[in-house]
Chain A
Amino acid sequence: MAEFVTVGRSDEVPEGEATAFAIGDQEIAVARVDGRLYAFDDICSHRRCNLALGGEIDGTTITCECHGSVFDMETGAPENPPATQPIAVFAVREADGEIQIER
C-alpha cells in the first residue's frame, strides 16, 4: 500500500524554486509554484543532470540547465528536446511543516 514518506521541511522549498531530496538512493526534486508542490525524479532523462540544481522553473515546466530539455513537472512529460523520455513524478503533500512524498 502506498505511504507518504517525509523528505524534508516545507521551508526548504521556497516559492518558485526546486530542491532535491534523497530517498534511499533515489534523488527526488520538489518544486513549489504558486504555492503548489510538484515532486519528480531529479535526474534528467537525457544525460542524467540534476534538475533541481540550476533548473529554471517557468509555470509548471522545468528546464534542465545542461542541455535545455524541458519537462512538465506535473506529468513528467518531455516538452522540449533533447530529452525524449519522461521523468517519473510522485504524489506530494505537506503536513505539519513537512514535505511528504508517496512511495
Chain B
Amino acid sequence: MTAPETIVVVGASLAGATAAATLRDEGFDGAVVLLGEEALPPYERPGLSKEVLRGEQAIDEHLVHPPEWYADHEIELRTGTRAVQLDASARDVVLAGGERLAFDRLIVATGCRNRTLPVPGSSLPGIYELRTADHAAAIHEATAGGARVVCVGMGFIGAEVAASLRTLGCDVTVVEVFETTLYRILGPDIGRVLERIHRDHGVTMVFNDTVASVEGDGRVEAVVTSAGRRIGCDLVVVGIGTEPSVELMAGTGLDQGSGIPVGPTLETEVPGVFAIGDVANHAHPVFGPVRVEHYDNALKMGAAAARNALGAGEVFADPHWFWSDQYDHQIQMAGFAPTWDRMVVRGSLEDRSFCAFLLDREGVVRGTVSLDHPRDVRRSFGLISSRVTPDPAALADPEVDLRTLVPAGEG
C-alpha cells in the first residue's frame, strides 16, 4: 500500500487517543481524525469505579490529554460523533447522518457495551451500569447520602464498585452467579481471599444465585433472586459482563460476537484496517486468540497499531498486565490463563500477600496473580512470554528473582 495521507480512528478512548498521539510521535504529518460518541474528550476509565464514583476526583483529572492538546497536535477530534458503518470497498467511514470520511488507514477502537439484566423490572429507574463518566456521576449522585445497593455481578467492576460504595458508607449486597468473587478470572482459591476482604468490609454476599426480577412501584425497591431471596434496596448496579461493539464492521464478516478478529499485527482481514483495545480479538503469538479489556492493553495496542498503520509490521506480543484496586488492597495479574492445572503460591493466601503462578499441565506459567505483592507479577513477564517451565520450588521461593528463571535471550 502507498503511504497513508489520512488516518481515521474510531473511538475517542484511551486506545484511540493513544493511537492518534503515536501517529504524531512517529512523525506522521497527514490528517488524523479521531471520532468519539461521547461529549468528552478521551478519558481514562479505571477511575470511574473508584475516585470518580466516590466523588474524590472530577473526570477532568482523568483526561488522556488536555482538551486543547488535540488541536495543538493537528488531530481533528470530533466528539459527539457516531461512526455507523465501514464501507470497505469505498474505504469510507459512514457517520450517523450520512457523512462519509475517506481514509487510507482506519483504526477501530469501538470498545464494548455492558450486558444488561434480562429480567422483569430491569427498566425501572434506579438500575445503573458503569462504563462512562456520566454513569459514574449518576451512581455517585444516587449513593452520596448513603443508600442500600445491590451489586449484580462480582467480577472486577462489581468488586471495585462494591468497595467504593462501602467506602462511601452504603449498605452493599452482592448477587453473584458463581460460588465466590472474581471466580471466572481468578478461580475459587484466590476468589475466596477477595471474598473475605469484602466480608471484612461489611459487604453481604449472595453466591450461586442470580437476579430473577427487580421489583418496585415506579422505582427500584427490591431485587428478587432465583433462589427466592428478596433483597430490599434503593438502587441496583449491574456489572455482569460486556459485549464488544462491532456494528461498525457489519457486512465485512468481522462483526463477530467474540470481537473484531485481528492478526498478530492488529490488522484485520481488510487491508489497512486495524482494531485495538476492548473490541479486538487478537491472534496473540503466545496466547492465541484473546480479547482483553484492560488499561495497559489499550495503551499498548493503541501505540502498536499506530506504528503498524505507518508500516512498522510489528507483532503485538505483550504479556498483558492489569491491576484492580479494592479498598486498600491491590490485585495485579499478568498473562492469560482461562484455565490452569496447578497453582503455585509465593507468599500466603491466608495472609493476603502473595503472588500465585498459574501453570498448565506442562508446567508453563500461563498467568500470575498477586495480592498486595505486585513486584513479582511485573517480574514474571519474561516467564510468561518465553513459555519456559521453571522449577515450581523456585517460583514459590520469595528469594528467587523471577527474571533469573528466564534463559538469556528469551522473554
State whether these chains interact: yes
Query: A residues touching B (Cβ–Cβ < 8 Å)?
Result: 47, 54, 56, 63, 65-68, 81-82
Question: With A and B bound together, what is the CA distance between A39 and B155 in angstroms?
Answer: 40
Contact A65 B378 (CB under 8 A): yes
List 25 A–B pairs whose Cβ atoms lie within 8 Å, in order of A's numbering: A47-B325, A54-B374, A54-B375, A56-B375, A56-B378, A56-B379, A63-B378, A65-B374, A65-B375, A65-B378, A66-B323, A66-B330, A66-B374, A67-B46, A67-B323, A68-B296, A68-B321, A68-B323, A68-B378, A81-B44, A81-B64, A81-B299, A82-B44, A82-B46, A82-B295
Q: Which residues of B contact A56 (CB under 8 A)?
A: 375, 378-379
Docked CA distance A103–B378 (Å): 34
Inter-chain contacts of B64 with A (CB < 8 A)? 81
In the complex, which residue of chain A has the Cβ closest to the Cβ of B377? A65
In the docked arrangement, what's the CA distance between A82 and B296, Å? 9
Q: Scan B278-295; emit 1 where CB is below 8 A from any A CB, else 0.
A: 000000000000000001
Mark B residues whose CB is within 8 Å of A: 44, 46, 64, 295-296, 299, 321, 323, 325, 330, 374-375, 378-379
**Minimal Cβ-Cβ distance residue in B for A65:** B374
Other 4 A-B pairs with CB < 8 A, given A54-B374, A67-B46: A65-B375, A66-B323, A66-B374, A68-B323
Question: What is the bound-complex CA distance between A54 and B353, given in angstroms?
Answer: 14
Give A42 Cβ to nearest chain B Cβ, in Å.
16
- Residues from chain B with a CB closer than 8 A to the CB of A81 are 44, 64, 299
- Kindly report which residue of chain A lies nearest to residue B61, judged by CB atoms: A84
Contacts of B323 in A (CB 8 A): 66-68
| B379 / chain A contacts, CB cutoff of 8 Å | 56
A residues within 8 A CB of B44? 81-82
In angstroms, Cα B375 to Cα A63, docked, is: 10
Ordered nearest first, which 7 A-B pairs have the shortest CB separation?
Answer: A65-B374, A54-B375, A65-B375, A56-B378, A67-B323, A68-B296, A65-B378
Could you tell me the distance between the alpha carbons of A82 and B295 in the complex, rounded to whole angstroms? 9
CA distance A30 to B299 in the complex (A): 29
CB distance from A14 to the nearest CB of B (A): 14
Among A47, A54, A56, A82, max chain B CB count under 10 A is at A82
Shortest C-beta distance, A56 to chain B (Å), equals: 6
A65 CA / B373 CA spacing, docked (Å): 9
* A56–B321 CA distance with the chains assembled, in angstroms: 15
CB distance from A33 to the nearest CB of B (A): 17
Q: Contacts of A82 on B, CB cut-off 8 Å?
A: 44, 46, 295
**Complex alpha-carbon distance, A6 and B224, angstroms:** 64
Chain B residues with CB under 8 Å of A66's CB are 323, 330, 374
Report how far A63 CA is from B321 CA in the complex, Å.
Answer: 14
